[in-house]
Amino acid sequence: MNEILLIGGGGHCKAVIDVIEQEGKYTIAGIVDKKKLIGKKVLGYEVIGCDDDLEELFLKYKYALVTVGQIKSNSLRVKLFTILKEIGYELPVIVSPLAYVSKHAIVKEGTVVHHYALVNADATVGVNCIINTKALIEHDVTIEEHCHISTATVINGGGTVKANSFVGSNATTKEYIIVNGFNKAGSLLK
């Protein structure tokens, strides 16, 4: 089984660990986090390095996944994804066996589809996205790169979520809407 590095050891990392363990396609080699956390453990997996060690770790590990969450900003997720790609890491798609992804859908590299999420026919999910627990991505939806579709969110048929957007828990969109993120009041922008 291939070994994978997890980049970021916070709360989102814990959720991704559970999905990786359930999927059973990768063995978690360790976690990369802040230098002061090296040697600590997250759900039994050791922090084995910091960002400065990514090139050296690539000599041993070819697979990695960004496991930093995205609520206030996705800038760290995007930065880490870019660094990993520049080094040469492969960033696989991780899909919980408790999720459903249509064989007619496309899910791109570095994306995690969490437990009980649904990605229906002709949907496309871009790179480095989080499709969180119980999210529903309906038919003909496009989720562009570096988005977080949060827990129990519904993106209805034909909708588009633009790059770098965060769609919060329990949000429901109309069909064929374009989502560009959130304004300060928390309502969807279009």
pLDDT per residue as tens digits for the range 30-60? 999 999 999 999 999 999 999 999 999 999 9
What is the 3-state composition of the chain as percent helix, strand, coil, each rounded to the nearest 5? 20, 30, 50
Q: Flag the least confident range among 75-84, 100-109, 144-153, 179-188.
A: 179-188
Specify the fold of 2-87.
Rossmann fold (3.40.50)
The string of pLDDT tens digits covering residues 103-162 is: 999 999 999 999 999 999 999 999 999 999 999 999 999 999 999 999 999 999 999 999
Distance, in Å, from the CA atom of 68 to the CA atom of 49, rounded to the nearest integer, reads 15
Q: How many CB atoms lie within 10 A of CB 152?
A: 17
Would you list the domain boundaries of the chain?
Answer: 2-87, 94-190
**In which band, very low, low, confident or very high, does the pLDDT at 72 lie, cut at 50, 70 and 90?**
confident
The β-bridge partners of 167 are 149
* Domain boundaries 94-190, CATH class: mainly beta
Type of residue found at 63: Y
